[in-house]
Amino acid sequence: MDLNLDTLYYHLGISGDYVDYRGQARQISASVREHALGLMGVAVADAARRDKQYQLDVAPWLYPLPAFSVVQDHILFFYLPAEHGYKHVACRVELETGSKFRTQNIAIASLNVSGDYQYQGLTYSRYQLPLDGLAIGYHQIWLILDDERTYVGDIALCPDRCYVSEQNKRRLGLNLQLYTLRLTQNLGVGDFADLRALIKQVTPFGVDLIGLNPLAALAWQDEHSKSPYAPSDRRFLNPLYIDVAGACDALGIGKPADALVPDYDVRACELRQAASIQWREVAKFKYEVLAALYQEFEDQDSAWLGHWQDFMYQNGASLRSFCDFEVQHNPFGGACRQDWAFHGFLQWLTTQQLAACQAFATEHGMSVGLMADLPVASVGGGHEVATNADLFVQNADIGAPPDPFSDNGQNWGMPPLNPSVLRARHYDHFISLLRSAMCGAGALRLDHAMWLQRVWWCVQTEQGLSGLYVYQNVHEMLALLALESQRNQCLIIAEDLGVVPDDFRAMMHKYGMLGNALFYFATDAADGFLSAQEQRDDAVLMVANHDVPPLRAWWQGLDIEQRLQYGLVDENSAESQRHVRAAQKKNLIEQLHHCDVWPDLDMPESCDQALCIAIYRFCAKGASPWVILQLDDLLGADTPVNIPGTFLEYDNWSRKLPELDLTDSKQGWSKLFEQLIVDRVTV
């Protein structure tokens, strides 16, 4: 077999070009593509490359049944030489429930053929075998040829679409960073007690969902670890969100939370009153409190003990691996930090409380409840990458090519998945990510969802820093997403911002996913704001999110000055953005006035509460089925929670929200939400 690099690149997803945000075609150099090949573990020698090409291009055609198949449209593919001599085919299936299923014998000559392959003078054909009547799920299948030859494999039989329910109902929601909340006597970060308090306050206003930042476990061995979008492992939770007082009550602990450790009230008050979140001080104190809670739980004969043990057993080796990693790398928890069961206890407790918050939300009338958020990656030094070394590519980082936000592109400093290895492992890791993220949620937002199709790799070659797109097996991954979404009855929202491949939104629509529009970017080709009627009707509309400035900062142009200050853009780019912003503000006032939510065409100097409300109402009158307000904007925040492209330069992920009480009649929250609900209904 002759070596064909283009064939090899195709199967490994290594791109040769791309279209940038200006619509210009960009070529990837041969040296960068070869470098990516090496990062994927393919040696330079021609023999090694030919062997890899054979595995990916030829071998799948030579064996009748793949070891694992993602089955869509109830069609199983199997492979035979054109001159095979078999007359009939049938399948015997053992469902994941343990029950059995068998198809009738079907004449092979009657089956559709969806492709042929030529190898060493022989033709191999891909047949389509219908599996009508078989339930969706993960099953084992036996392919039977003429009742003589049998081949066995595993299948994931997937539905056509994700769970949709009343997906297009016109909903109103809130989005927030949970750790910023100050609604209760927490221990320095917003926790599940704050979340329950917020749910109780907003459900009377007709809020149907609350979007949260990722709640995944952080890499505490890194003194700078605090970003919810750069976790240690996306499959496990951050115990800092545990409501300690609630846990004491629920578990029947014989003492209140403030009696668990000395100086509890003083230390908690100091952390609560700090101007910003002191992540490591909070972690040190809260893990100490949680260790004391764990010891109290161990010492009593609790009815919850069996429930905890069941959780540990059901989550098996994966949970034990994470706990062992925490023993080695998590510096918090005192004597308990060396006890792997302590870390398992914290995962159990966090999982239980998150699920209880979702139940609390739906019981109080929210039609969706909590919207979880799945980050695009995990940090290289965390548990997820360390224990899946073959699955993640070293010496490459996920990022984004140059765009209006950053002249130099972005490097997020986290290793990408190797698509061919993910496929060879039957997508086990991807499936586990989805299941974990959907636990305790009525909807799931996929951060930078285009990673399901392609990922921008930042690579360092001999010629310097460069980048390229690497493509995933997108159709199989979307099918598995649909399967897990249906099984968990979890709506899917795909963040499709930035440079979006032409066909990605079509695939989103096919699979029943809503997009994720942002108010700032709901503009036309001339950067003017779309009218309310022109807004996307296939996307959740957020007024803002964690990567863009609050409304007040946007109006003042503070985000442009910050990007210039931190070297993300140069003076020329900043000046251009200032001109665009001035024109956008003028256009926005015209749109608000035309939409009858702003009294005149005068340009306000600042974005006060009246202008914010007008913008909320403009969004609420639009075509989007869901409008999600940023809690930061409701409370008048004028500093961002995060500035992408900065790491230590700006104190990201540490800003707190002011204390709030949405039940305070003087603040007029009830009237505001009533007006927004009216705007939603009367469109």
Q: Count of CB atoms within 10 A of residue 214's CB?
A: 23
Are 238 and 148 within 8 A, CB to CB?
Answer: no
Q: Which fold has domain 73-157?
A: Immunoglobulin-like (2.60.40)
Are 552 and 205 within 8 A, CB to CB?
Answer: no
What is the per-residue pLDDT across 521-542, written as a single tens digit (0 to 9) for each? 999 988 899 998 899 999 999 9
Q: Give the start-to-end residue ranges of the domains of the chain.
A: 73-157, 242-343
What is the per-residue pLDDT across 547-593, written as a single tens digit (0 to 9) for each? 999 999 999 999 999 999 998 889 999 999 999 999 999 999 999 99
Model pTM?
0.95
Cα dihedral angle (297, 303, 305, 309), rounded to 10 degrees? -160
Strand partners, 149: 145
What is the per-residue pLDDT across 69-109, written as a single tens digit (0 to 9) for each? 999 999 999 999 999 999 999 999 999 989 998 888 999 99
Q: Count of CB atoms within 10 A of residue 79's CB?
A: 19
Among 369, 330, 365, smallest CA distance to 240 is for 330
Give CA 199 to chain center in angstroms. 22
What is the per-residue pLDDT across 203-237, written as a single tens digit (0 to 9) for each? 999 999 999 999 999 999 999 999 999 999 999 99
What is the per-residue pLDDT across 358-392, written as a single tens digit (0 to 9) for each? 999 999 999 999 999 999 999 999 999 999 999 99
Buried b / exposed e along 415-424 (16+ C-beta atoms within 10 A):
bbbbbbbbbe
What is the per-residue pLDDT across 646-666, written as a single tens digit (0 to 9) for each? 888 999 999 999 887 777 765
> Chain-wide mean pLDDT for the chain?
93
Handedness of CA 184, 188, 193, 198 (dihedral sign): positive
Percent of the chain past pLDDT 70, that is, above it, reads 98
Q: Give the per-residue pLDDT at 458.
A: 95
More confident position, 500 or 436: 436
The contacts of residue 535 (CB under 8 Å, 6+ apart) are 517, 522, 541, 619, 622, 623, 624
- Listing DSSP states for 40-78 in one string gives TT--SSHHHHHHHHIIIIIHHHHSSS-SEEEEBTTEEEE
Q: Is the pLDDT of residue 668 over 80?
A: no
Q: Give the per-residue pLDDT at 155.
A: 97
Q: Give the per-residue pLDDT at 568.
A: 87
Among 390, 391, 473, smallest CA distance to 66 is for 473
Cα separation, 683 vs 680, in Å, equals: 6
